[in-house]
């Protein structure tokens, strides 16, 4: 029998398995425990006490006949520790089994064996071997009193059956806890994979698919509740030249830093994602065109003032930003993006390092 040890920092196994004093009395009644059994336990305990060491020796001689168990019992220190624990268990078989302390001890023994990986077939089989060893000693002492011997054997069977029931429950409980833990880990891993699949691996903001989904949801919400919503379309000026001159690794660092700068100027509800290449979209929730222009100008200015450096390279970088607001005639994200892109084109065409607001030329005409 393995050493008893706590399985959880708080709560008892009896609590976990909902074993109450009334429940324990019901179990004893189901096994037909009687006052005579209580008396018999005392005599059984005396017989065990007289032969405990020789029974343990026979028990382990039996175990090491099986290769799978020899692999578990290879360490002498472990075997000695297990023998000491089994000795305590055997000597406790003469105790009364009508309180929760007894039940808790049995449950913890079973839980410990499950945790060390002992298969249930071996643990339950061990009870059969213990029963055999104890019956042999009882038979030797009471060979002349068949009635008394029969009564003692019935009592021994009942107490060991009660202990086996506890074992089955603890193995089941441990298995269920492990399965629940595995399911929780799988669920968390699945959630993490979903989150990872929605992120741009370089900049760690939403990738294009996740960006479009978020913008679509916010567009619908803003239209439904008549809230302002403004889109910034940001593009790094002359990014190809940066890559050609300083290398793609430096270009990657530039994009990462630009995202950090832009992210520091927006609020948690706002949306930011990589649309593609060096283009980023920023959705400003409940933000007017004027407020959006101020935010865009702050982003543009902070990037222009920042000195981008990595390893031996240092460069100044600018961005152009197009701004488009949600209007009643827009019912698709693609339309809003197209307008922000047109404003971005205007910013590029008029000198770069600029912020331009989308203008509806058709209405002006």
Give me the active site residues, please. 278
> Residues 358, 289: contact at Cβ < 8 Å?
no
SS3 276: strand
Q: How many CB atoms lie within 10 A of CB 187?
A: 10
> Residues 155, 40: contact at Cβ < 8 Å?
yes
Distance (Å) of CA 18 to CA 23, 30, 222: 8, 17, 52
Alpha-carbon 299 to chain mean position? 39
Distance (Å) of CA 142 to CA 155, 277, 349: 14, 91, 109
> Residues with Cβ < 8 Å from 33, sequence gap 6 or more?
97, 158
> Residues 249, 298: contact at Cβ < 8 Å?
no
> Residues with Cβ < 8 Å from 75, sequence gap 6 or more?
none
> Residues 344, 321: contact at Cβ < 8 Å?
yes
> Residues 151, 86: contact at Cβ < 8 Å?
no
Per the rule left: phi > 0, alpha: psi between -120 and 50, beta: everything else, 20 is beta
> Residues with Cβ < 8 Å from 121, sequence gap 6 or more?
none
Q: At what angle do helices 35-63 and 146-197 cross, to 10 degrees?
A: 70
Candidates 285, 274, 267; CA nearest to 326 is 285
SS3 271: strand
């Amino acid at each position: 029998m393995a050493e008893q040890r706590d399985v959880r920092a708080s709560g008892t196994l009896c609590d976990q398995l909902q074993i109450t004093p009334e429940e324990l009395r019901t179990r004893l009644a189901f096994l037909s425990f009687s006052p005579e059994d209580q008396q018999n336990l005392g005599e059984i305990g005396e017989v065990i006490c007289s032969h405990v060491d020789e029974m343990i020796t026979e028990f382990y001689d039996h175990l090491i006949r099986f290769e799978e168990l020899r692999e578990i019992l290879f360490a002498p220190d472990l075997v000695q520790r297990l023998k000491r624990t089994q000795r305590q268990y055997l000597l406790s078989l003469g105790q009364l089994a009508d309180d929760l302390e007894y039940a808790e001890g049995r449950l913890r023994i079973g839980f410990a064996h499950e945790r060390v990986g002992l298969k249930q077939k071996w643990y339950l089989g061990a009870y059969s071997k213990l029963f055999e060893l104890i019956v042999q000693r009882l038979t030797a002492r009471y060979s002349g009193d068949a009635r008394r011997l029969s009564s003692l054997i019935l009592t021994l069977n009942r107490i060991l059956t009660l202990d086996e029931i506890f074992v089955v429950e603890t193995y089941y409980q441990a298995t269920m806890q492990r399965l629940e833990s595995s399911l929780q880990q799988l669920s968390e891993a699945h959630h993490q994979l979903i989150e990872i699949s929605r992120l741009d691996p370089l900049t760690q903001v939403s990738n294009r698919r996740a960006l479009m989904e978020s913008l679509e949801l916010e567009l619908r919400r803003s239209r439904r509740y008549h809230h302002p919503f403004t889109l910034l379309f940001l593009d790094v000026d002359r990014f190809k030249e940066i890559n050609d001159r300083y290398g793609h690794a430096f270009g990657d660092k530039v994009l990462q830093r630009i995202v950090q700068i832009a992210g520091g100027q927006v609020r948690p509800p706002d949306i930011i994602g990589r649309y593609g290449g060096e283009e980023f979209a920023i959705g400003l929730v409940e933000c007017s065109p004027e407020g959006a222009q101020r935010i865009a100008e702050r982003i543009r200015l902070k990037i222009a003032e920042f000195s981008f450096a990595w390893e031996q390279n240092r460069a100044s970088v600018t961005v152009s930003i197009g701004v488009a607001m949600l209007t009643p005639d827009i019912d698709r994200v693609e339309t809003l993006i197209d307008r922000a892109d047109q404003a971005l084109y205007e910013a590029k065409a008029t000198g770069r390092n600029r912020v331009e607001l989308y203008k509806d030329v058709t209405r002006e005409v």
